[in-house]
Structure 1
């Protein structure tokens, strides 16, 4: 079976164009191949994980106090919310109720002090 020359030509053009798209260059490498730190490039950005404080260091939950909980349809159950809070280092979680904005709120103990806590629909944990 022979394919017409026009079909082969179209196939060749389409194959070549996808290969070109895959190899496009978006920037220039450092001229002296030095690290980005030496060439003035962007350094790696790391952010503290404020939604899940370190359970081995509950004091880190203080960083979560500035975390903004987002409103939205929350599908977490009360038990899942309690576990998430306990995993974040909170103890004696109680009075959990989901408000009209989809945020679970309750009370918990942290370093011997009672704090108000919240969990949003994404699972972010914050002391409020």
Structure 2
């Protein structure tokens, strides 16, 4: 009878062990900001998503990133503002995604 008890106890302990091996809970505040500052990108390409920036706000973010002569801004189907701008005397295509990432075309 004692042997049966030990077998039952062993079965319970073995079946409960995966509970103790689970990952710890995630932090309550991720380091990925919803909107980044003008000097900080979290992506080197535009991130698709619902963009709440107005055209004026998108232009301001592009200018804050060091671009001038910002023109032809339009929001595409992925929620990314795209337009043309100059930086260092060179004209380029530029974008602003919903997180505020400003990226020149590559």
TM-score by length of 1: 0.49
Q: What is the RMSD computed on CA atoms of the aligned residues? A: 2.0
Residue 100 of structure 1 is matched in structure 2 by: 77
Equivalenced residue count is 68
| Inter-partner Cα distance in structure 1 for 2:49 and 2:89 | 31
Residue 95 of structure 2 is matched in structure 1 by: 118
| Inter-partner Cα distance in structure 2 for 1:72 and 1:87 | 22
| Inter-partner Cα distance in structure 1 for 2:73 and 2:39 | 19
1:26-77 deviation per Cα after TM superposition (whole angstroms, max 9, x unaligned): xxxxxxxxxxxxxxxxxxxxxxxxx8459xxxxxxxxx7x812110010100
In the alignment, which of 75, 81, 99 is matched to residue 52 of structure 2? 75
Q: Give the unaligned 5+ runs of structure 1.
A: 1-50, 55-63
SS at match of 1:73: coil
SS at match of 2:92: strand
Q: Which structure carries more relative contact order (alpha carbon 8 Å, separation 6+)? A: 2
TM-score by length of 2: 0.59
In terms of fraction of residues, the more strand-rich structure is 2
In terms of fraction of residues, the more helix-rich structure is 1
Equivalent residues of 1:68, 1:126 under 8 A apart: yes
